[in-house]
Chains A and B, each alone.
Chain A
Amino acid sequence: MFRRLLIANRGEIAVRIIRACREAGITAVAVHSEADRGALHVRGADEAVELPGSNSAETYLNIPLLLDVARRSRCQAVHPGYGFLSENADFAEAVTGAGLVLVGPSAPSIRQLGDKTRARELAQAAGAPVVPGYDRAGSDKEFEKQAKKLGYPVLVKAAGGGGGRGMRVVEAASQLAEALASARREAQSAFSDSRVFLERFIPSARHVEIQILGDREGRVISLFERDCSIQRRHQKILEESPSPALNEDLRARMGAAAVAVAKAAAYVNAGTVEFLLDADSGEFYFLEMNTRLQVEHPVTEILTGVDLVLAQLQLAAGEPLAPAWAAAHPRGHALECRIYAEDPASDFAPSPGRILRWESPQGPGTRVDSGYAQGDEVPVHYDPLLAKVIVGASDRKAAVCRMERALGEMVILGPVTNLAFLQEVLAHPVFRSGKAATDFLARYLPQGGEMKPPPDEILIAAALLASEGPGGAAGIQRGAQGDGEDPEGPWARGDSFRLGSQE
């Protein structure tokens, strides 16, 4: 096993990897941008190296600089996390070329699967069905012709990567040109690759993915599914396992298809094969294979008891699949909610800023993977994921109740978050029934949910705080001669409302 590992990432996933390192006795070397100076992953690491600059391109995406840091800090391996360089074949090649080990699959596997159009071909060859689409280069005119052939709505997708970046649903031919241009710009910015392709848009499908592990001897196992149907803008916000839409037969067939795809790509390490599932017909289609650790990996960890990051480290060190992993079976039900610094009422616009107060939920079956703590600044430069809350319970109903309890305990003040929105999702009868498909949010909570006005207790608390707050409060004391000239206001003097003093 390695003694020193470079973590080429930030936020909650860097913290997660540091924890795995500590348990495995590996020295964790973190990197950070100027904006992330003092970030949680820096505070938790054994060693940290600052990368000059703050935008991703000059820091977390800077291959030569990262390799230089790895060499100078005498690391033997590099963990890319998710996002950033995690699915970049050039990076994988450069890491190996520098005599280091990448905690992930080989560069050829990443290249083959990371190119979404080549991955479609590979999956077809391995016997996995794919969504009808058009995946060749062409002029806008050609795309227009092909889109018409597929039938609207169509999906414009980036060939270079996933995560909803560079992805657009196009309802009509008149919107295609703008969608192509905007998707290409976003894809270029996110993946340095502006190629896009078309797929028929299946509006009411479920998103079900299979977690796999592969070793260097060519063995691949499935660690079952995660259902990620609750998405906004094609970005997952809630994941669970088992999927309410699978029965044993379907689970076995999808698992076998995923393993076949991974084997066809000579896949080593942890990976995820994503499928669209038409829950009514039981038909499923290969979407893509993610050649990295997923954001939602803790769902599988809670369900199976397999530590996926530790498994990644062992597989990267050349160890074979552990018998315990192959013998793992699902226990109960696991659920994850992603807490984002974004405003559901403003079309999910990111909401960076200082975290004024933070309290994490605790208690039985409750795990929080967080990248921030109280007092931290959420920078504008990166993905707005703040934390993930993961729960495990005996069955789906108990897991949903546990998640509601956990989210109710969570406090994040400062940036606007999607916490209240997630609670609306959990409370929704369609979600409760286990029938939510990928169009769930657009269909049932289209305006980002319903903002409930502050209840009386919040207003009363605010009034109490205003009456005693620093900087003078806005209030009128009946009978007082507030003349508006006193800079502190009439309340700066008085303390007649310090209620606690009476108790």
Chain B
Amino acid sequence: MGSRGFLSARQPGVNQGMEHRFRWQGKAYCVSLVRAPESMRAQVDGREHRLRRIPAQEGSLILEIDGKLHRIPFARDSDCLHLAQGGVAYRLKSVDPLRATRTLHHHEHGLEAPMPGQVRLVAVEVGEAVQRGQTLLVVEAMKMEIRITAPEPSRVVKIHCLAGDQVERGQVLVELDSIGDNNQ
């Protein structure tokens, strides 16, 4: 780790430091927690905060951060931390830095089901060229029709579902290969 010793160099007297990485909406965030002899500190993108934790009921944290109190209800599921504040919910994905490269590997050109539902219509065929915004599939869930559209001019490489199929959220439905619009 090239950054080893970073915290102790910046923070004399600190005996331990711990770094946590999260992803939210594709963006990475890094938080360092530092326990100094007298108090607790956190560093978020270079911003330093003093914190104190106040006992709270199960399922919520009460933190005094730079003198201001925050009550933060939370929950965990298999791969996410859910936290709420002021009527806004945040879903943060913990990123294990040792495995970060794998976590970041996406289906670059696959279009996923936005929710569990039933495929009502497959509007394209393999090999077909599609325009940006063109309807590829229609998925119905909770009595609404959601159109899955092409994000850019592409060719349909593979279709992974048939009309009538039940699909899960995140399931790849169609694979596209983008066609550059550099046709002279």
Chain A contacts to B: CB under 8 angstroms: 56, 165, 178, 182, 185-186, 189-190, 233, 343, 345-347, 349-352, 354, 356-357, 359, 380-384, 407-414, 416-417, 419-420, 423, 451-467, 469-470, 473-479, 482, 484, 489, 491, 496-497, 499-500, 503
Contact = CB atoms under 8 A, between A and B. Distances in A.
A85 to B, nearest CB: 14
Nearest to B53: A499
Contacts of B35: 496-497, 499
A467 B44 CA distance: 15
B98 interface: yes
Interface in B40-97: 40, 42, 44, 47, 49, 51-55, 59, 61, 63, 65, 70, 72-77, 81-92, 94-97
B178 to A, nearest CB: 21
Interface of B: 1, 4-8, 16-22, 24-25, 27, 29, 31-33, 35, 40, 42, 44, 47, 49, 51-55, 59, 61, 63, 65, 70, 72-77, 81-92, 94-98, 114-117, 120-121, 135, 138, 140-146
A354 to B, nearest CB: 8
Nearest to A405: B87
A461 B141 contact: no
B24 A352 contact: no
Contacts of B74: 357, 413, 461, 465
B114 A478 contact: no
B65 A456 contact: yes
B145 A182 contact: yes
B87 A381 contact: no
B72 A461 contact: yes
A475 B19 contact: yes
Contacts of A454: 24, 29, 83, 90, 92
Contacts of B115: 349-352, 380
A411 B57 CA distance: 15
Given A460-B42, A462-B20, A186 B31 contact: no
A336 to B, nearest CB: 16
B20 A384 contact: no
A13 to B, nearest CB: 15
A420 B146 contact: no
B111 to A, nearest CB: 12
Contacts of B20: 462-463, 466-467, 473-475
Given A414-B75, A456-B49, A476 B1 contact: yes
Contacts of A470: 76
19 contacts: A185-B138, A346-B114, A349-B115, A349-B141, A350-B142, A352-B141, A380-B142, A409-B87, A411-B87, A417-B89, A460-B42, A461-B70, A461-B83, A463-B33, A469-B76, A478-B7, A478-B16, A479-B4, A499-B40
A354 B80 CA distance: 13
A458 B74 CA distance: 10
B86 A408 contact: yes
Interface of B is mostly: strand
Contact of A474 (B21, B29, B72): B21
A347 B147 CA distance: 10
B119 to A, nearest CB: 13
B51 A460 contact: yes
Contact of A459 (B4, B29, B59): B29
A456 B42 CA distance: 9
Nearest to B116: A380
A420 B17 CA distance: 34
Given A178-B135, A383-B142, A476-B1, A423 B19 contact: no
A458 B92 CA distance: 9
Contacts of B88: 419-420, 423, 452
Nearest to B68: A457
Contact of B18 (A408, A452, A476): A476
* Top 10 A-B pairs, shortest CB-CB distance: A356-B75, A474-B96, A413-B82, A499-B53, A463-B31, A463-B20, A350-B142, A349-B114, A474-B94, A420-B88
Residue in A407, A413, A417, A497 whose Cβ sees the most chain B Cβ within 10 Å: A413
A383 B65 CA distance: 40
A30 B115 CA distance: 29
B60 to A, nearest CB: 8
Nearest to A348: B144
A467 to B, nearest CB: 6
Nearest to A491: B18
B89 to A, nearest CB: 6
A435 B9 CA distance: 57
